Amino acid sequence: MSKPRILVTRRWPAAVEAVLAERFDVTLNSDDLPLGENELRLALSIYDAVLPTVSDRLPAAVFEGASIVTKILGNFGVGYNHIDVAAARAKGIAVTNTPGVLTDCTADIALLLLLSVARRGGEGERQLRAGEWKGWCPTHLVGTKVSGKTLGIIGFGRIGRAFAQRCHFGFGMDVVFFNRSPVDPEEAARYGARQLSTVEDVLAAADFVSLHCPGGAENRHLMNAARLATMKPGAFLINTARGDVIDESALIAALESGTLRGAGLDVYEAEPHVPEALRRMENVVLLPHLGSATEETRTAMGMKVVENVTAFFEGREAPDRVV
């Protein structure tokens, strides 16, 4: 019996690629560049499984070919708003993701962004590397204290909870959150947090707001001009969720007007494009989507995909099937 044919759209950790090659007839993307829609459409007509990442856009148009043979999309990542899951479902294609394994590393990156923007770490490093530092003085790059401030979290899933725990127990922050479904108060208290009724309630209370909700249609531009205007004057916004959760034009306007004191971003609406206005702002810390970028986590993500695809082709239920 021939092995299922699988396309891996980007290079993965070597240990994961080795396991895939052992179990399947694998094709790797040796150039390690994102595939275009035409290439992905062609792949769906050739391979039994395609293993995409957030850099691969799979809108409905990609699934319109009549000769689709792909049976499963094993997504490398927990977010899958780059895939039109309704179109995949209509073609009978299963979709899986990789939840759980990137929780801690993404929460760590959110904390890195929060501390960096509050304490003006990005500005300081740029100044020092440019040879512009004139030495210590009492008014140089004075930032904002983090300990004891109020943190607002939008989305209290695994990553939101891990971030709350770090900020409350590590920095003594008062943590409030919004979540679409109610969270048991005792469960929330385990993470040092309490639930508020609306997004606006959280925004009005928080000195720092961190986004940990899914991307996609239901949350597209959740943080729009109206919501940004309800944040406390001088507050900071952190995003390690998905870029489309923020209206970037509205964010730029809020930062330029001084409504927001700063922002820390790891994700963007049209990655890898980052608006020039954001890139030139000193009070914005920008990272290139590093949330899960540790050797341990990226390997664990890859192995999650291996487990899902292996189970699917063995006729078992894929553990992390979303469609």
**Catalytic residue status for 242:** yes
- What the block records as the tokens of 182 is 């109610």
Q: What is the DSSP string of 245-287?
A: GB-HHHHHHHHHHTSEEEEEES--TBTTB--HHHHT-TTEEE-
For residue 3, which amino acid is it?
K
Identify the bridge partners of residue 58 per DSSP, sorted by sequence position.
83
Q: Residue written as tokens 């957030």?
A: 54
CA distance linking residue 128 with residue 131, whole number of Å:
5
Give the angle 230-147-138 at the CA atoms, nearest 5°.
100
Q: Which of 179, 224, 213, 218 is nearest to 86 (CA)?
A: 218
Strand spans (E) along 196-276: 208-211, 235-239, 260-265
- What are residue 208's DSSP bridge partners? 151, 236
- Tokens, residue 130: 């440019």
- Catalytic pick among 41, 166, 289, 298: 289
Catalytic residue, from 10, 82, 161, 242: name it.
242
Active site residue 120: no
The one catalytic residue among 17, 39, 200, 271? 271
For residue 297, the surrounding DSSP H or E stretch is helix 295-313
Q: Smallest Cα–Cα separation from 159: which of 210, 107, 209, 114?
A: 107
Residue 290: exposure state from Cβ atoms within 10 A (0-12, 13-18, ≥19): middle
State yes or no: is 37 an active-site residue.
no
> Looking at the annotation, which residues are catalytic?
242, 271, 289
